Structure 1
Amino acid sequence: MPNETLTSDIAEIRSSYVRDRFAFVPSVKMVRIVQALGATDEDLDRLTMVSDALEGDPTLPFRRTRTGRFGFDPVAMEVRRLEFQPFMLSTEDDFVRHDSGKVRIFDEIRDDLQLNTALQALFVFKFMVFDGMKVEHRPKLDYDGDRWVCTLLNVRTVTDGDLIGEPALEGVHSDGVDHTMTTYLGSANMTEESAVTFLHEMDEVNGTRWHDTNPELTRARAQHRDFLDTCLIVDHELKHSVSTLYAADPERPATRDLLAFLTRRPVAGGHHSQAFDSPAPHPAMPMTVPLRALDETARVS
């Protein structure tokens, strides 16, 4: 893809994101963008299978998960892997679930994902979309510096004869960050009506099941159906929920694989994650990728 076309595509997505506070990027455009940002055909194929190596989730029996922490550094213009830290979301983050406020320890994302050029291109794409954008500030985050912290979750949701998979068991929620991005990797045996994402105004009640929400407070809906379908949300300005994963053939398991990029400023004093928000690089699994900025003439603040 010529550089001008890449800039035009991302500028269009950013404009929509700034205007609507969310954006949905369909598969065809997303594949074109990540290829222009360095993703190889081989790594795109590998990305469709990376979720096969996921482990169990610490609190949800119908989910398999790995996570990793990454840091965006706009001064050095690079994203780097950060050291392991536990993970927590609380009711202060607009996240109401049985494990709210619980320290969760996930298995770590490995080199098979972090060194994948398609994954690295997704990091660069996200930075180009949100860099320099003004958003509503969350309490107890540090907006005075330049750095960003991104928790990447690779998640497989499973429905089988014993378990009903919920991509968002917590119902209406936010992710405790500034910018949420979800990218679809694939599914098996999933019905057409499964896993629809609903975007809600901030007045919607946290924890409300997706089918019990107030239609007047629902801003939009989207569905990840094709490889690399991607949704971006300004996380402190819109809440979201996701409908249940149903099996098309009830005799076989249904799976849905996703990457979630949860990006926020570093925490400030009094934040519940203050004890585990280290900016140190990962000692055993280093990764550093150069970032790119969107041309100033194409940006909208």
Structure 2
Amino acid sequence: MVLSSSLLSELRLLRQQFIKERTLWIPSIEMVRICCGLGASTYDMAPARTVSDSLRADPTLPFRRTKNGRFALDFASRHLRRLEPQPFILTAAEDFVRHDSGQVRKFEDVDAPLQYNLVLHALFRFKAFMINGVDIKHHPGLDYTSTRSVCTLFHVRTVTDVRQGMLGQPALEGVHSDGVDFTMTTLLGHQNTRGDSAETFLHSPQERNSIAWNETAPAFLVGKVQHVDFLDTLLICDHERKHSVSPVWSVDESNAALRDMLVFFTRKPVVEGHVSYPYDSFREHERLPLTIELV
């Protein structure tokens, strides 16, 4: 895919900033323009805002609706492909401490309305451009000689419903990492959420895992952002920055509060002996094939 010289220059500057700071925040107005330069159009934006209405119950969290999908980023051929569905597992050893740590979870499949939306394709292209060749702290058990990476996409709706005694927590696990090389989070929309909802706090690796967002040490806080507008996006070097997120609170407690996100976990393939090794195939998805060209 060939980019305009102005967009290419902008992406290079953002990439340099990401390499320096190990996190990158791209506000909505900038991200919409970037996505349009990476193949999306304004006609793709409206369906992306409403695609979360089809989400299903999460396997372990009652306040969440989810689907997920696996994709292969091949940096040698500069293509992304959809991979077959596999179970998902994260452990306490990967800085993810929660009641379902180490549990094999099975999610509903990301389906056609999201997969074939060109906004998603543009987001994949953006992330691939930002992370390709970036030198990072290595996770144990990952194959850093590979030219491929696995991107697990989570499509998530967090729900707070006071009528049901349900408080939606985007990060019930408290301070954590996601066991991957790079995490990217993008807002699709929200309804009936208080202005102080879902603030994301960035912490240095010294912060203690699993403590609540409001119990952390100021000395280890390295940043704070809040996804408010469509396509607000945060990119993190996951093994070098921990993060936590405050709950979703309702404005009108007689109605549910909703927050819809795309979360992109990207890491190198695992080697034999890693807990995810049985679930790390590179076979293509038979029902929903997809191949897109990267930048």
- Report the TM-score, using the length of structure 2 for normalisation: 0.98
Q: 1:176 aligns with which of 153, 174, 179?
A: 179
Q: Which runs of 5+ in 2 are unaligned?
A: none
Q: Percent identity?
A: 49
Determine the C-alpha separation between the residues in 1 that align with 2:172 and 2:18. 26
The aligned runs of 1:55-66 (5 Å cut-off) are 55-66=56-67
Cα deviation for residue 4 of structure 1 reads 1.7
The aligned runs of 1:200-215 (5 Å cut-off) are 200-215=203-218
Cα deviation for residue 15 of structure 1 reads 1.4
Q: 2:273 aligns with which of 247, 270, 275?
A: 270
Give the letter aligned to residue 268 of structure 2.
R
Determine the C-alpha separation between the residues in 1 that align with 2:8 and 2:44. 23
Query: Any idea what SS the aligned residue of 2:13 has?
Result: helix
Determine the C-alpha separation between the residues in 1 that align with 2:9 and 2:111. 33
Determine the C-alpha separation between the residues in 2 that align with 1:12 and 1:257. 29
Cα deviation for residue 36 of structure 1 reads 0.7
Q: Which residue in the other structure is 1:120 paired with?
A: 121
Determine the C-alpha separation between the residues in 2 that align with 1:26 and 1:8. 18
Q: Which residue in the other structure is 1:227 paired with?
A: 230
Query: Any idea what SS the aligned residue of 1:48 has?
Result: helix
Runs of 4+ displaced beyond 3 Å: none
Query: Any idea what SS the aligned residue of 1:67 has?
Result: strand
Q: Which residue in the other structure is 1:8 paired with?
A: 9
Q: Which runs of 5+ in 1 are unaligned?
A: 293-301
Q: Which residue in the other structure is 1:247 paired with?
A: 250
Determine the C-alpha separation between the residues in 1 that align with 2:216 and 2:169. 16
Determine the C-alpha separation between the residues in 2 that align with 1:92 and 1:269. 16
Is it true that 1:191 corresponds to 2:194 in the alignment? Answer: yes
Query: Any idea what SS the aligned residue of 2:150 has?
Result: strand
The aligned runs of 1:45-124 (5 Å cut-off) are 45-124=46-125
Query: Any idea what SS the aligned residue of 1:148 has?
Result: strand
Cα deviation for residue 40 of structure 1 reads 1.9
Cα deviation for residue 286 of structure 1 reads 0.1
Give the letter aligned to residue 252 of structure 1.
N
For residues 9-39 of structure 1, the C-alpha deviation after alignment (integer angstroms, 9 at most, x for no partner) is: 2112111111110010000110000001110
Is it true that 1:282 corresponds to 2:285 in the alignment? Answer: yes
Q: CA RMSD in A?
A: 1.0
The aligned runs of 1:124-135 (5 Å cut-off) are 124-135=125-136
Cα deviation for residue 8 of structure 1 reads 2.0
